Amino acid sequence: MKPAARLVVTLVAALALLPGVVAVILHMPSFGDHALPYGDAINRLAPVERHVTNMVTAVNFDYRGFDTLGEEYMLLAAVTGALVLLRGRRGENVSDAPAKADGRSIAPRSPAVMLICRFFAPVLLLFGVYVVLHAQLTPGGGFQGGVIIGSGALLLYLGESYRTWRRFMRSLIFDMIEATGALIFVLAGFGPMMAGAKFLENTLPLGQSRALISGGLILVTNAGTALAVAGGFVLLLLEFLEETRALDAGDKS
């Protein structure tokens, strides 16, 4: 289809959808005024039943934990598919040859970039751990903290060399971290069943509200999610960065 034809089809589709969009906007409730009781119920019950102050975490890792388990394994499947596609086609390449674009080598790192990355890498890593550990208290959790930790690991590549990055970021280690995180979530579901409870039923001591150790089983499922997400994102970064490398003479394609 020619660009002009695609533009016409897009405009026709937009015009066809416009009345529905306008109708939805006109019938939206005012900000803070809604007719859905579920949010109010969670805000009322979760602090008492789960001793947590972050309601989103209570929903994700407890009240709706089975759905979150499915989301975690969707991420696991997506990462696995990317690894099989990229690693299977290219193989491992741990050379430190410079990446090139149109025959031009990338400029070497400046001392300022190296200094900034060396400073912020541990800071970002610690902040990611903080977000994970405080999931039951403040906004954040295993998904958000895992992404922050993975992003912090990328600063090692930006501030150092590719060879240094690969010396610390081993594929096998992060394969195991990702798999362990997914396994923890599953075991957190089957563990209560062994005691006669339901799948993912919160049977652990809930602790004291507003304390770091609170929420019972939420702490376990959140930690498993953090491991799986952090490991998965680092693995994706590994494969994407390997795609940028120029092969050495002895490397296999």
What does the pLDDT look like over 222-245, one tens digit per residue?
999 999 999 999 999 988 888 776
Residue 97 has pLDDT above 70, yes or no: no
- Do the domain assignments include residue 236? yes
Q: What is the pLDDT of residue 253?
A: 36
Q: What is the DSSP string of 128-194?
A: HHHHHHTTTTSS--HHHHHHHHHHHHHHHHHHS-HHHHHHH--HHHHHHHHHHHHHHHHHHHHHHHH
Residue 180, domain extent? 35-89+108-242
Q: How many domains does the chain have?
A: 1
- Do the domain assignments include residue 217? yes
- Do the domain assignments include residue 3? no
Mean pLDDT of 69-74: 93
- Do the domain assignments include residue 184? yes
* Nearest Cα residue to 106 out of 96, 115, 121: 96
Q: What is the pLDDT of residue 158?
A: 87
How far is residue 179's CA from residue 211's CA, in Å, rounded to a whole number?
29
Mean pLDDT of 177-184: 95
- Do the domain assignments include residue 30? no
Q: What is the pLDDT of residue 251?
A: 42
Residue 106 has pLDDT above 70, yes or no: no
Phi, psi dihedrals of residue 104, rounded to the nearest 5°: -105, 125
How far is residue 39's CA from residue 57's CA, in Å, rounded to a whole number?
13
Residue-averaged pLDDT of the chain: 87
Q: What is the pLDDT of residue 249?
A: 46
Mean pLDDT of 41-52: 93
Residue 180 has pLDDT above 90, yes or no: yes
> 152-174, pLDDT tens digit by residue?
988 988 888 888 888 888 888 99
- Do the domain assignments include residue 137? yes
Mean pLDDT of 172-199: 93
**CA count, 13 A, side-chain hemisphere, 109:** 18
- Do the domain assignments include residue 136? yes
Q: CA-CA distances (angstroms) from residue 239 to 91, 107, 172? A: 10, 22, 13
How much is the pTM? 0.80
Residue 31 has pLDDT above 60, yes or no: yes
- Do the domain assignments include residue 8? no
| CA–centroid distance for 157 within its chain | 19
